[in-house]
Chain A
């Protein structure tokens, strides 16, 4: 149980284009999903918290117009990197909470998406 998928697993795009990453909870309904960014050999940095049916909460320093988050259903959240630039190249990881699991802070992570912007 508690499986989270991400698609695509890797993507290469040209500078200036937009890229959409999907995060799905496969066997549970996730009222809350999270998006993280991980730089090489570093820990995870929380970008935003996504609640189903409401606007995402962005961490300080994260541009909400740059990183658009949509959580339209209880099993799907999307992250769109708009007008991507080489500095946006990174490993993006999503996670989801299963409201039936304790402690309630437990998060289940997707396999990550490697983005390379040329």
Chain B
């Protein structure tokens, strides 16, 4: 079965410093992977997605993620954090079992805090 683990429930960085949000996945198939961001009391916004076309995926707002099959990881990075990046981030993998073909499996989320 597919699963996704976000290794940190909370990450705190200073404005202008790099951001690293870690995600490991488990899948018997070649997965599609996503990162979504959720600001307080808002819906989820798609940051980026991996589809096997390229291992380094560029998303919106300066975020990137690299798919590493050998490490089963899909970590999210940004060179320089901005105050507006403070939010909850979800790593997501596609499900391929039973009747759940193509549904999404969400990680528990990582809360990113950005200090001035």
- Chain A interface (Cβ within 8 Å of chain B)? 2, 4, 6, 34, 42-44, 46, 49, 57, 91, 93, 95, 102-112, 114
Query: Within 8 Å of chain A (Cβ to Cβ): is B22?
Result: no
Query: Within 8 Å of chain A (Cβ to Cβ): is B78?
Result: no
The one of A44, A91, A104, A106 that contacts B34, using a Cβ cutoff of 8 Å: A106
Total interface residues on B, using CB and 8 Å?
21
- Chain B interface (Cβ within 8 Å of chain A)? 32, 34, 36, 41-46, 49, 51, 90, 94, 99, 102-104, 106-109
Q: Is the CB of B106 within 8 A of A43?
A: yes
Identity of the chain A residue whose Cβ is nearest the Cβ of B49 in the assembled complex: A106
Q: Is the CB of A43 within 8 A of B51?
A: no
The one of A104, A106, A107, A112 that contacts B42, using a Cβ cutoff of 8 Å: A112
Given A44-B106, A57-B99, A112-B41, A103–B49 Cβ distance below 8 Å? yes
Q: Is the CB of B49 within 8 A of A46?
A: no
- When distances are taken between beta carbons in the complex, the residues of chain A under 8 Å from B32 are 103, 105-106
- When distances are taken between beta carbons in the complex, the residues of chain B under 8 Å from A107 are 104
CB B28 to nearest CB in A, in angstroms, measures: 16
